[in-house]
Amino acid sequence: MEEILIISNYYPPEKGAAANRIEQLALKLHQNNYSVSVICPLGNYPKGELFPEYKGKFSVTENRDNINVKRLWIYPSVSKNLLVRIISVLSFSLSLFFYLLFKKTPKKVIVQSPPLLLSFISVLVLSLKNKKIILNISDLWPMAAIELKALKKDSLSHKFSLFLERFIYKKATLILGQSNEIIEHVHTIFPQKDCFLYRNFPDHKIANPELSIEENQPVKIFYAGLLGIAQGVFELCQKIDLKGLNLELHIFGDGAEKSQIEALISSQNENKIFFHGMVDRKELHQRIQSLDIAIVPLKTRIYGSVPSKIFEYGSLGFPIIYFGGGEGETIVNDHNLGWVAAVGNYEDLNRELKLISKLSKSELKDMKQQIFNESQSEFNLDKQIRLLIEKGVF
């Protein structure tokens, strides 16, 4: 079996889309006769503290579903303090630097970006070792950081980040981008760079969807995922108007806005928003079977970003309310996956919700079946991996 290494800042048992998509990539490569190993930090995300099984350990080697996982030391944190976050990223970056420098690594390595510093360290050492570097870009940094106001344009940090970005693009053998916008951006800097589209498709292995419909119940909308600044779920809870509508909003997840969301819900007189906390992926898929529509919000339009939730929930047969702008709008519209509201425009969103509240459960069931069929055909991870292997990417 040909060996391939994946370097990522996230991996299960950590939660969230980033960990899930890297695991899916690892498992699919294994199924296609690759011997796959992963280097990642000791499990700590999303709470920013080491999971009990990793506390007091400097490194851990484990096998998860035939994937050899090497976990290195990190000083974990989800602090809002920029300095603390930098120290956290630096801690794993240093662990990774020395590991890659002194340990034997396969000829082919997939490097996940962002975080930029992590991918820079990886690409720097691997380029010195003359490895085939497959850079997998899921978001454009520092551009996204500027759009989210996490970085100030033309600041020293911004200029340093631009240097890191150019370096990893230049030194990468080839690039995987999760969106056409990412590929277009890379080509504005290095027009000749080999780039390939790699969507974050799920792998649910579902032949027939669970299209359970609860008659005489409100239409139940749900959000499941990170409760961070980029998603803007707290603002969504503040500004969404469910009064007088046959709608409920159910929230699953964890993150920086969790306490604010819980406090807001407890202060409301009309109980139309429900918070369920963080649950693992398997349990989540069971619990959302009784729900109707997924909402995918972003606080602002982020160039290059296509939330994997579009593919995740579309492939389970859920209609999507997309509220994030950019390439995601095109995907939802082109594949008839649901509704689009202009990013940040709550008047537009609330107009769509009024229309949605008038849908019957039988109409929703028909939508679910149509969306499931479309997703099975168009969002096929096995087909995507095979095509990339045929093109010599891996």
373: alpha, beta or left? (left if phi > 0; alpha if psi -120 to 50): alpha
Report CA-CA distances (Å) from 166 to 133, 266, 301: 15, 47, 23
Same domain for 119 and 234: no
Task: Give the domain CATH number at 91.
Answer: 3.40.50.2000
pTM to 2 decimal places: 0.84
Residue at 211 is within a domain: no
Same domain for 229 and 370: yes
Domain containing residue 152: 2-201+380-390
**Structural domain count, the chain:** 2
Same domain for 148 and 11: yes
Residue at 102 is within a domain: yes
Residue at 8 is within a domain: yes
Average pLDDT over residues 152-180: 94
Same domain for 277 and 174: no
- Is the pLDDT at 210 greater than 70? The verdict is no
- β strands within the chain, DSSP E: 2-7, 34-41, 59-64, 67-72, 108-113, 132-137, 174-177, 195-197, 219-226, 247-254, 273-275, 293-297, 320-323, 338-340
265: its two tokens = 């819900």
Q: What pLDDT is recorded for position 191?
A: 96
Same domain for 223 and 189: no
Same domain for 248 and 171: no
Same domain for 223 and 188: no
SS3 4: strand
Same domain for 373 and 226: yes
- Is the pLDDT at 381 greater than 70? The verdict is yes
Report CA-CA distances (Å) from 182 to 76, 139, 158, 175, 200: 29, 7, 19, 10, 13
Q: CA 385 to CA 391: how far, in whole Å?
A: 10
Residue at 207 is within a domain: no
Same domain for 150 and 8: yes
- Is the pLDDT at 124 greater than 90? The verdict is yes
Same domain for 104 and 40: yes
Cα four-point dihedral sign 3, 4, 9, 14: negative
- Is the pLDDT at 212 greater than 70? The verdict is no
Helix H, strand E, coil C: the string for 255-304 is CCCHHHHHHHHHHCCCCCEEECCCCCHHHHHHHHHHCCEEEEECCCCCCC
pLDDT, one tens digit per residue, over 323-370 is: 988 999 999 999 999 999 999 899 999 999 999 998 888 888 889 999
pLDDT, one tens digit per residue, over 248-262 is: 999 998 888 888 999
